[in-house]
Amino acid sequence: MTMKMRVLSAEAVRQSLDMREMIESMKRAFMQLSRAEVVMPVRASVEVEKHNGITLFMPAYLSAEDGMAVKMVSVFKDNPTQGLPLIHALIVVIDPATGVPRAVMDGSYLTAFRTGAASGAATDLLAREEASSVAIFGAGVQGRTQLEAVCTARDIREAWVFDTGHDKAHRFASDMEKVLSLEIHVAEDAKRACQNADIICTATTSSIPVFGDSDIKSGTHINAVGAYTPEMREIPTETVTRSKVVIDHLEASMAEAGDLLIPMKEGVFKEDDLHAELGEIAAGIKPGRESREEITLFKSVGVAVQDVAAASLVLKVAEDQKLGVEFDL
């Protein structure tokens, strides 16, 4: 019996993506996660201190959809100084019935896209219906997909971007204005970015809060996706303690989410203060936003079920449109 594998380049992956479909895919994945319909070990990590990097291995199986994949993602902080992307990733889709690899695809942009889609799902479930302005912290690829996802989930009329790299922020604004037909302002500081924002997305590699608690107005929804280790954080402790906190996955958050673990170490926040997993809200098990005034915070460290759902969706489109290259194993 001949076994075939499809190889999808970054461009083939991009051609297979649709943000609205991906947002719905993320909702389904999170619901399965919260209903314990998945097999998903906590991701394994290999730190490479010598080169200021980390490589993560993220496998998962979604039993309800019968999908399986594993992702390898590397984040090396010195890469941009060498003209290389901060993040590299590769995803292998596996046939759950036989264990045969079905496809291998570039996962770098797909990681950013599915992360954006997760924030799109959280925005759809938690932000005020009339939310029309957004502030993006971090002008990298992740910031771009955050903005695209929020604009898919809500009718956004005003956007701000803030990045410590001023030129990078201006490039972001110029590029995304063309993509979204939306005027995007470059903020001179964090306060200016936040002061009128109904929705805030943080997509940085910061180890200190990227804005002040006093910068946040009541009724704001925050998507915090940049910090993915216990030592990293983007959100001030004061903001965490006065927010309705929703997470992607309890076990992963308690192992990796510095935005939550640091306030816990400070003794001002505890696990019982967490409101829900996003999948519980998507499934109607727990409520989402309950007032116009409350601040909602979606803290995501990224979980492997997102990659399985995203890669499975990409592979289906790629097979239908005959994208990529197929070869015999």
Count of CB atoms within 10 A of residue 319's CB? 15
pLDDT in tens for each of the 329 residues of the chain? 678 899 999 999 999 999 999 999 999 999 999 999 999 987 788 999 999 999 989 999 999 889 999 999 898 999 999 999 888 899 999 999 999 999 999 999 999 999 999 999 999 999 999 999 999 999 999 999 999 999 999 999 999 999 999 999 999 999 999 999 999 999 999 999 998 899 999 999 999 999 999 999 999 999 999 998 899 999 999 999 999 999 999 999 999 999 999 999 999 999 999 999 999 999 999 999 999 999 999 999 999 999 999 999 999 999 999 999 998 87
Q: How many CA atoms lie within 13 A of 316 on its CB side?
A: 13
Whether 220 contacts 249, CB under 8 Å: no
Please, which residues have CB within 8 angstroms of residue 230's CB and are 6 or more apart in sequence?
A: 255, 256, 257, 258, 261, 262
Give exposure, 1-19, as e/b (b: 16+ Cβ within 10 Å): eeeebbebeeebbeebbeb
Count of CB atoms within 10 A of residue 286's CB? 15
Which tokens belong to 2? 């001949």
Give me the active site residues, please. Answer: 71
Separation between Cα atoms, residue 135 and residue 198, nearest integer Å: 8
| pLDDT at 259 (0 to 100) | 97
Whether 27 contacts 40, CB under 8 Å: no
Separation between Cα atoms, residue 184 and residue 123, nearest integer Å: 19
Phi, psi (rounded to 5 degrees) for 3: -105, 130
Fold of 118-303: Rossmann fold (3.40.50)
Per-residue CA distances from 217 to 93, 96, 197, 257, 325 (Å): 43, 47, 8, 24, 50
Class of domain 4-110+305-328: alpha beta
Separation between Cα atoms, residue 62 and residue 304, nearest integer Å: 10
Provide the residue ranges of all domains of the chain, joining segments of one domain with +.
4-110+305-328, 118-303
Whether 26 contacts 114, CB under 8 Å: yes
The letter for the amino acid at 208 is I
Q: Is the dihedral of CA 149, 325, 60, 72 positive or negative?
A: negative
Q: Is 300 helix (H, G, I), strand (E, B) or coil?
A: coil
Which tokens belong to 152? 């898919």
